[in-house]
Amino acid sequence: MNESRVVELFNWMDETTSVIQQHIDETYLDSLTVTLEALFYDGIHAEHHLKLEEAVSKALEKINIEEFSAEQIRKAIQLAVLKGTKDAIQQKHLMTPEAISLFIGYLAEKLTKNLDEVRILDPVCGTSNLLLIVMGHLKQSVKAYGCEIDPTLMKISLLSANLQKKEVEFFHQDSLRPLLLDPVDLVVADLPVGYYPDDENASNYELCAEKGHSYAHHLFIEQSLHYTKEAGYLIFLIPEFLFESDQAGQLREFLQKYAHIVGLIQLPETAFKSKEKKKSIFILQKKGEHTKDIKQPLLALLPSLNDTHAMENILVKINRWFTEAKIPS
């Protein structure tokens, strides 16, 4: 890919977003949604903002979005989102690192290789960068679904998918409430970590805490399994402490009842800003009539994602594991 084209498009997005910010009192991310809308609709209608309309029209004369590939568009949007979220504290505003998303895409391709069509869900899609990367790895026909409660992130998701000409059905809602969705073949999710504030809704879940607030990351695992087909797979990014918390025993019992553990892949500390934010990739298969426990789950410790030679060696071992374990069966 021509990376200079990515930088060119990002610079245009960044400059246009800054111009928009000068005219409207909004955050960088909210202004970015106006930029993306202008790109998709080839202009904007800004009531009472004639000067803004003129400025955006002038900016659009400098760019032709049709000259950029879907991957170049995705990367440029990712860079713009990263700029808008670099000072973000809330977990919901943090993007899954690129290299980790690509690795999850590789795992998704392995787990779904026997399917002619893949239905995929990200219940916490954010800006949908992870979902769109995984879609790009799958060779089959794909039906994708994303769920996000934050209105700004939802807008970026929708516009990003449209600009990349990727078909995704989005749900703008709390994804721990019922979804109008048939079960899918694959779930991918970078689980948000923390407490879920809606105790009344949490009481509908088996993983509801006996006292106080329930862990959102536990409830998302249960909800994801609920919307996965029997024998379907789930790939989660989980916090390192998932099985060490005060509610870990309840989670273990739940997983033994409903899922097979396929693998646990520890990610290098260098992939995260701090040791506290370190995560692992957790792979599950939903139990079904013809499924069985994995004799030897995939256990691996990834080297630095920048160490090409070490990554090639670990991929050889992981590929061998998939062959020997006959996953998918």
What are the boundaries of each domain within the chain?
A: 3-85, 91-325
CA 8/CA 14 separation, integer angstroms = 10
Cβ proximity of 126 and 154 under 8 Å: no
Cβ proximity of 132 and 104 under 8 Å: no
Its CATH architecture, for the domain 91-325, is 3-Layer(aba) Sandwich (3.40)
Question: What confidence score (pLDDT) does residue 44 get?
Answer: 84
Tens digits of residue pLDDT in 67-92: 999 999 999 999 999 999 875 544 44
H or E element in which residue 219 lies: helix 216-226
pLDDT at 47 over 80: no
Packing angle of the helix pair 70-85, 151-163 (nearest 10 deg) = 160
pTM for this predicted structure: 0.94
CA 222/CA 175 separation, integer angstroms = 12
Question: What confidence score (pLDDT) does residue 49 get?
Answer: 78
What does pLDDT average to over the chain?
93
Dihedral angle sign, alpha carbons of residues 190, 149, 158, 91: negative
Q: What is the mean pLDDT of residues 293-318?
A: 94
Q: Domain 3-85 is in which class? A: mainly alpha
Q: Please state the separation of Cα 172 from the chain's center in Å.
A: 15
Q: Which two tokens stand for residue 33?
A: 């949604």
CA 157/CA 49 separation, integer angstroms = 25
User: Helix (H, G, I), strand (E, B), or coil: what is residue 4?
Assistant: helix
Tens digits of residue pLDDT in 207-243: 999 989 999 999 999 999 999 999 999 999 999 889 8
DSSP string, 34-103: HHHHHHHHTS---TT-HHHHHHHHHHHTT--GGGS-HHHHHHHHHHHHHHHHTT--SGGGPPPPHHHHHH
Tens digits of residue pLDDT in 129-152: 999 999 999 999 999 999 999 999
